[in-house]
Each structure stands twice: as structure tokens, then as C-alpha cells.
């Protein structure tokens, strides 16, 4: 069953989150999967584990409590937000595989612009080297895969072990900037919420929070690292990569 693509344009966060939740609650085993692509006006969102101490100075930007995983993040103009609404049981993959596939779609999107996306052990999302965004050199703090290939649909759940930093409670962000964030929710084997890729944003609001709960974590966008493209082009490429990687 194909995933249907829906471009929502710029939409407010709260009604979009409510619509995702309503769609997921009402769906049946026959409901087709969907991928929503959008952009939000400025908003901070707090995940289920969110601590108020990570909101440093929100100012005039609203703060919204959500039921996704993770801590606080920022959404704003110039960021492509993707919400895959997937029946994982029907698609045949596990939560960890799903996260891997989301990250892989971002990595392949960045590769189109000769930017190398990296994973960091213990910290979901995609990161780039600040000194050389195109470098293919492996990070010492990368996750080390143990077990089966997560790209194989239906494989057993795989596990990650840290490379040089086995303590995943303290991920190592040395020399890195975060360019894409993940925050998902799974209800009755069905996913909502999703990921955000920074394209060309006003990054100042990130200084008002500890992004994803990490003090001092640098946040970047494609524009910052020298890649100039429109939001529409970035959205189109990311959506196509997601459709490929999330296909059942």
C-alpha cells in the first residue's frame, strides 16, 4: 500500500498536532499511510520528558506541550517538518528500525548537496561537522551497529553501542552542529509526529533553549553551512527520500 503525500504549507502547530492524533486514533488496519510535509510559525514544543529548566528564555515565542518523545525543540519558518503517519505493524519494521530509516532519509537528502550527515551515539537526530560539512570521516562518537541490517524490512530489532562514548546519557557533540531533529509518538503500532530539517532559518530562538535538552548544543541549517536552496526544493527532496525509505 503506497504512502500518500500531503503538502500542507505553513500551518499552526497545535491544530496540526491535533489532526495527527485524530487521524491516528481513527485509523483502521486498512487506512492508507500518509506523509505530511509542512512548515510552522515560530513555536517551542516540549516532549513528554521535557524539563522546564531547558526553556531558558522563550520570550514572545509560544511554548506547546506535546505527547512526542524527547525534550524541547524549536520550529519556525525555513524548516521542513515531516510527519509520517505509518502503520509499522503493516509496514513490517520496529521502532528502532523506523528511527533509523527516518535518519537515513535525512542523510541521503544532505548527501544530494555534498553534505555528510552523521549520527551520534545516544542522541537521535542528524549532525554535521562544523569545520568540514562534506567530510566522510567517521565520527569517533558514532553509534556502532550490533546485529542485523536495519535497512532490511522485517529484520530483528537492532541495537546501538556507542563508539568512544559508551555513556549515552552524555553524548559527545564536539565539533558538530545539529541540522535535523526527531521526535516521534507510536500509538497502537502507528506513528505520528516526526522530524524537522533546518534549511534557511532564523537560528536565534535556539539560543533561548537547551536544544533537545543539551546545554550548549549548536544548531545549524543548510544555509549556515553554505548550501543555498529554496524551502520547496528541500521539502520535495526530503519527502521523496522518506517515501522511498519508509515504503513497506
Q: Which domains does the chain carry?
A: 4-246 (3.30.930.10)
Helix (H, G, I), strand (E, B) or coil at 129: strand
Helical H runs in 66-135?
A: 88-91, 95-111
Determine the average pLDDT of the residues in 79-93: 97
Each residue of 174-230: pLDDT tens digit? 999 999 999 999 999 999 999 999 999 999 999 999 998 999 899 999 999 999 999
The predicted model scores a pTM of 0.90
Active-site pick, 17, 212, 217, 227: 212
Whether 190 is catalytic is no
pLDDT in tens, 3-47: 999 999 999 999 999 999 999 999 999 999 999 999 999 999 999
Whole-angstrom distance, CA of residue 72 vs CA of residue 240 = 27
Measured CA to CA, the distance from residue 66 to residue 72 in angstroms comes to 10
Over pLDDT 90: what percentage of the chain? 82
70: left (phi over 0), alpha (psi -120 to 50) or beta: left
Rounded to whole angstroms, the Cα distance separating 182 from 242 reads 13
Pairing mode, strands 72-75 and 4-10: unpaired
Amino acid at each position: 500500500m503506497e504512502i500518500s503525500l500531503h503538502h500542507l504549507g505553513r500551518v499552526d502547530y497545535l491544530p496540526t498536532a491535533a489532526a495527527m492524533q485524530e487521524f491516528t486514533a481513527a485509523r483502521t488496519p486498512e487506512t492508507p499511510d500518509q506523509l505530511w510535509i509542512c512548515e510552522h510559525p515560530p513555536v517551542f514544543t516540549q516532549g513528554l520528558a521535557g524539563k522546564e529548566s531547558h526553556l531558558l528564555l522563550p520570550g514572545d515565542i509560544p511554548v506547546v506541550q506535546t505527547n512526542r518523545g524527547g525534550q524541547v525543540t524549536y520550529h519556525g519558518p525555513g524548516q521542513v517538518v515531516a510527519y509520517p503517519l505509518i502503520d509499522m505493524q503493516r509496514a513490517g519494521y520496529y521502532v528502532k528500525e523506523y528511527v533509523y530509516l527516518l535518519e537515513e532519509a535525512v542523510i541521503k537528502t544532505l548527501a544530494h548537496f555534498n553534505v555528510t550527515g552523521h549520527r551520534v551515539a545516544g542522541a537521535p537526530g542528524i549532525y554535521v561537522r562544523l569545520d568540514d560539512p562534506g567530510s566522510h570521516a567517521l565520527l569517533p562518537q558514532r553509534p556502532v551497529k550490533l546485529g542485523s541490517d536495519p535497512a532490511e524490512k522485517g529484520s530483528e530489532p537492532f541495537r546501538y553501542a556507542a563508539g568512544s562514548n559508551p555513556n549515552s546519557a552524555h553524548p559527545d557533540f564536539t565539533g558538530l552542529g545539529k541540522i535535523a531533529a526527531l521526535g516521534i509518538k507510536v500509538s497502537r503500532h502507528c506513528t505520528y509526529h516526526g522530524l524537522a530539517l533546518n534549511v534557511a532559518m532564523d537560528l536565534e530562538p535556539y539560543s533561548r533553549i537547551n536544544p533537545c535538552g543539551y546545554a550548549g548544543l549548536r544548531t545549524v541549517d543548510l544555509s549556515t553551512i553554505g548550501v543555498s536552496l529554496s524551502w520547496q526544493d528541500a521539502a520535495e527532496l526530503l519527502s521523496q527520500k522518506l517515501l522511498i525509505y519508509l515504503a513497506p
